[in-house]
């Protein structure tokens, strides 16, 4: 069974509906869904804050490239435009980890090459998987340790909201 960690984000259109579209498309493949977090944009492009969440899903029929295509299809359905790097987006679906696979393939680098330095990925992931680990530099590192290594202001900037992607 292929297990994937997906980081999702949106700051255009109806961001909450865009995030919910991912959960809806996953259906019974969803293993865990984090709370929704509001975060300042990353990368220096002026834009409104993002809504972010992290999901864990499983599917026997999808390999890591299948998960990448799944995310790209959802982005396309949400009219994602890739004009500005780190710019505003209707939907961003990143494959953070896929069965612990390590790959330097430029089409699908695993684990996600910047996940270890992004609090908006790590905070929600730690919420749904307290013992999570991510391969960094060839070795697994606890997500909790990765979070502790980030600037405290970046971690504090990941603000849990009262919004939800699934009914309680």
Is residue 84 very low, low, confident or very high in pLDDT (cuts 50, 70, 90)? low
Confidence check: pLDDT of 1 > 70: no
Distance CA 135, CA 85 (A): 25
Q: Which residues contact 19 (CB under 8 A, 6 or more apart)?
A: 8, 9, 10, 36, 51, 53, 91, 165
Neighbour count for residue 64 (Cβ, 10 Å): 18
137-152: per-residue pLDDT in tens? 889 999 999 999 999 9
* pLDDT over threshold 80, residue 15: yes
Q: Write down the pLDDT at residue 31.
A: 97
pTM: 0.92
Cα–Cα distance list, 6 to 46, 89, 115, 153 (Å): 25, 16, 11, 24
26 phi and psi angles, rounded to 5 deg: -75, -35
Question: What residues act catalytically?
Answer: 80, 89, 92, 94
Give the mean model confidence (pLDDT) for residues 75-99.
80
- Section 12-27 average pLDDT: 95
Share of the chain above pLDDT 70, in %: 91
In this prediction, residue 82 carries a pLDDT of: 61
């Amino acid at each position: 069974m292929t297990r994937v960690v997906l980081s999702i984000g949106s700051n255009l259109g109806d961001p909450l509906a865009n995030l919910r579209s991912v959960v809806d498309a996953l259906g019974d493949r969803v293993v865990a869904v984090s709370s929704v977090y509001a975060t300042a944009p990353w990368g220096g492009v002026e834009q409104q804050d993002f809504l972010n969440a992290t999901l864990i899903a499983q599917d026997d029929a999808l390999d890591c490239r299948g998960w990448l295509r799944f995310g790209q299809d959802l982005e396309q359905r949400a009219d994602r435009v890739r004009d500005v790097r780190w710019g505003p987006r209707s939907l961003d679906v990143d494959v953070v980890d896929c069965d612990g696979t390590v790959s330097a393939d430029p089409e699908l680098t695993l684990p996600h090459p910047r996940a270890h330095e992004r609090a908006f990925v790590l905070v929600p992931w730690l919420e749904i998987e307290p013992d999570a680990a991510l391969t960094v530099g060839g070795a697994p590192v606890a997500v909790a340790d990765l979070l502790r290594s980030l600037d405290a202001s970046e971690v504090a900037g990941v603000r849990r909201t009262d919004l939800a992607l699934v009914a309680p």
